[in-house]
């Protein structure tokens, strides 16, 4: 390395040193500390006692933990296709030219800007078994009231509804990608006699496939980390049917002060999200089309 290169390296490191210090203090150290605490009996107020893999082996026998994990995976399996399909469908509808399109785009995007606490309170009121508007609407068709939040059968469905209501962010990303689809591809498809469905399947989907993949990964991460809405709406629900993973982690850490146990839960969640991300990447690897590669 020449003296000039060493000088440039020192100057570069000096300029990025604030970021390096921030990353070390607020990211790297907490990650390392949480990994160490996951191997300890640690209650925040006492000195950590190293116990090895005891927290992880205990979690494997913890019925509440297993139920929270099961609830989260079931909820994710229900909400993932609903939010992915609905956001793409709305984007396709709002991409078509029609009068007042901008107003409708704004209306469908606004729910994603509502704070999660306000959203939870709103949906708790809408799903109220006695006075909720949804049951009132069902009454017009002589459908008996549904105990959305107090029934094991419907409690997870009631958690999917707010998730589907807040798809504005994904919808906007899809809209941006649809506007980047080259027009000449549609023109060529029309000349070949392709119907709208064939244009969508053979032109639109391949071109926006990187965006679909991005939204898929972000949706998986968001659904597995769901916390605020179910915590405020049900606080675990009937028979713990809406006790989700992060809520149990939160209660373990800050209500029961079992910080080491909660750190072990956090690392297990990290491994699960990483595994599902790798699985989604592997499953879609041959279906993602990048136009820039041509």
Q: Which of 135-139, 178-182, 216-220 has the highest mean pLDDT?
A: 216-220
- Phi first, then psi: what are they for 202, rounded to 5°? -105, -10
Q: For residue 243, what pLDDT is reported?
A: 94
Please, what is the average pLDDT of the chain? Answer: 92
Q: For residue 266, what pLDDT is reported?
A: 96
pLDDT at 292 exceeding the cut of 60: no
pLDDT at 294 exceeding the cut of 50: no
pLDDT at 45 exceeding the cut of 50: yes
Please list the helix, strand and coil fractions of the chain in percent, rounded to the nearest 5, in that order: 75, 0, 25
**19 within a domain of the structure (yes/no):** no
Q: Which structural domain, as residue segments, surrounds residue 243?
A: 61-293
Cα 257 to Cα 45, 69, 162, 231, 260: the distances in Å are 8, 20, 30, 18, 9
**32 within a domain of the structure (yes/no):** no
**126 within a domain of the structure (yes/no):** yes
Percent of the chain residues topping a pLDDT of 70: 99
Q: Do the Cβ atoms of 250 and 227 come closer than 8 Å?
A: yes
Locus of tokens 């209501």: 165
**125 within a domain of the structure (yes/no):** yes
**51 within a domain of the structure (yes/no):** no
**180 within a domain of the structure (yes/no):** yes
**4 within a domain of the structure (yes/no):** no
CATH of residue 80: 1.10.3720.10
The pLDDT tens digits of the residues spanning 76-102 come to 999 999 999 999 999 999 998 888 888
**38 within a domain of the structure (yes/no):** no
The two beta strands, 49-50 and 40-41, are antiparallel
pLDDT at 34 exceeding the cut of 80: yes
- This prediction has a pTM of 0.90
Please state the domain count of the chain: 1
| Helix (H), strand (E) at residue 40 | strand 40-41
């Amino acid at each position: 390395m020449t003296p000039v290169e060493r000088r440039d390296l020192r100057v570069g490191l000096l300029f990025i040193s604030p970021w390096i210090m921030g990353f070390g203090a607020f990211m790297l150290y907490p990650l390392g500390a949480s990994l160490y605490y996951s191997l300890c009996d640690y209650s925040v107020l006492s000195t950590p006692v190293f116990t090895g893999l005891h927290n992880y082996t205990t979690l494997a026998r913890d019925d509440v933990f297993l139920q929270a994990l099961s609830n989260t995976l079931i909820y994710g399996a229900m909400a993932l296709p609903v939010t992915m399909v609905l956001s793409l469908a709305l984007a396709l509808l709002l991409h078509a030219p029609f009068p007042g399109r901008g107003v409708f785009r704004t209306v469908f995007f606004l729910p994603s800007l509502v704070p999660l606490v306000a959203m939870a309170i709103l949906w708790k009121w809408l799903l109220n078994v006695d006075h909720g508007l949804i049951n009132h609407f069902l009454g017009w068709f002589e459908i008996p009231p549904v105990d959305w939040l107090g029934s094991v059968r419907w409690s997870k469905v009631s958690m999917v509804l707010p998730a589907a209501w807040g798809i504005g962010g994904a919808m906007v990303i899809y809209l941006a990608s649809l506007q980047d689809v080259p027009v000449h591809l549609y023109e060529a498809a029309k000349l070949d006699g392709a119907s709208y469905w064939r244009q969508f399947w053979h032109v639109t989907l391949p071109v926006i496939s990187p965006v679909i993949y991005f939204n898929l990964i972000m949706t998986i991460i968001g659904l597995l980390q769901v916390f605020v809405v179910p915590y405020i709406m049900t606080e675990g629900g009937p028979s713990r049917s809406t006790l989700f993973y992060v809520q149990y982690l939160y209660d373990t850490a800050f209500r029961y002060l079992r910080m080491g146990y909660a750190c072990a839960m956090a690392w297990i969640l990290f491994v699960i999200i990483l595994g599902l991300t790798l699985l989604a990447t592997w499953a879609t690897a041959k279906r993602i089309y990048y136009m820039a590669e041509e």
